[in-house]
Amino acid sequence: MENLVINPSLADLGLTAILFGIVILLSVREQLSLERTFTYAAFRAVVQLLLVGYLIEQVFHLDRWYWVVILLITMSIIAAKAGADRIKSKLPGLSLLVWVAIFAGTIIDTFIVTEVILKIDPWWDPRYLLPLAGMIMGNALNSGSLAGERFISEMRNRKAEIETMLILGFSSARACEDMKRVAVRNSLIPTLNAMFTVGLVHLPGMMTGQILGGVDPIIASKYQIIVMFMVASTVIITALILIKLLQRKYFTAAHQLRYNLL
């Protein structure tokens, strides 16, 4: 089989308006009132993807480790802001907490994948590090926002239960243990669903992209296996770190609940 990558022209990309038109048409027909939201989201997606493609291409040409690190740190800051915005809470310093959780989850899994499993050389090779770290970071963002939102929601709805356990002498961590489990399980649902159906119901984005790029399907499958376990690890690490940080914010050193923050 000839290893030929089809490079869509700008005119070809313009034809995707057909697909976008279907979205708008159905939104109007079903009175969903999402036309403006879809249009804005589509505009942002196009601009962001073309911009990041250009930036990554420049990083490839510059071939310096510090530009790769700068780009990853910038991505993590944007991810933290987006994750904090998804959590319905006015907790002071929430963006910083989300950033710590996302950054920690990303660093741990990126190191294991790139240095232990793939052994890329040099360690900062942007062709491997940027897409893998970006994928990890995206899943860390989703899991952090899902876990954080659910944990805070559970605490608000079960304040009386928490207070009762604290009065009975339990620690704040013990009083929130069930809420932590609920939040972590909630953040894992998309990942578990994907793992159960991968290859049978759908071909994931990375595997599909590699196959379209001419990579042998078996090699693409191997990379996708790495990615699936990488994602699962990232999700649970990020969720647990963020919940631990939130617990410290919502309780005093004396294990008293800060009602004003809820």
Given a cut of 70, is residue 1 above it in pLDDT?
Answer: no
* pLDDT of residue 56 exceeding 90: no
Kindly state the percentage of the chain with pLDDT values over 70.
98
- Give residue-wise pLDDT tens across range 109-123: 999 999 999 999 899
- In the numeric block, the tokens 């990041």 are attached to 52
The mean pLDDT value for 3-29 works out to 83
Terminal Cα-to-Cα distance of the chain (whole angstroms): 60
Q: Alpha-carbon torsion 191, 197, 201, 206, what sign?
A: positive
CB-hemisphere CA count at 13 Å for 151?
28
Residue 250: what pLDDT?
92
Of 7 and 134, which is predicted with more confidence? 134
pLDDT in tens, 189-238: 988 888 888 877 777 777 888 888 778 888 888 888 898 899 899 999 99
Residues ≥6 apart with Cβ < 8 Å to 150: 182, 183, 186, 187
Whole-model pTM: value is 0.83
CA–chain centroid gap for 2, Å, is: 35
Backbone φ and ψ of 202, nearest 5°: -145, 155
Confidence of residue 3 (pLDDT cuts 50, 70, 90): low
CB neighbour class for 172 (10 Å; exposed up to 12, middle 13-18, buried from 19): buried
- Residue 142: phi, psi to the nearest 5? -65, -45
pLDDT at position 2 is 52
Give the mean model confidence (pLDDT) for residues 169-198: 91
- Model pLDDT, residue 4: 61
Residue 199 has what pLDDT? 75
Give the C-alpha separation, 89 to 153, whole Å: 9
Cβ contacts of 157 within 8 Å, gap of 6 or more: none
Question: pLDDT confidence of 76, banded at 50, 70, 90?
Answer: very high
Q: Give mean pLDDT, residues 150-158.
A: 93
Contact by Cβ (8 Å): 53, 7: no
Cα 42 to Cα 15: distance, rounded to the nearest angstrom:
14
pLDDT for the residue 10 = 79
Q: Are 71 and 45 in contact (CB under 8 A)?
A: no
Domain boundaries, the chain: 8-62, 65-261
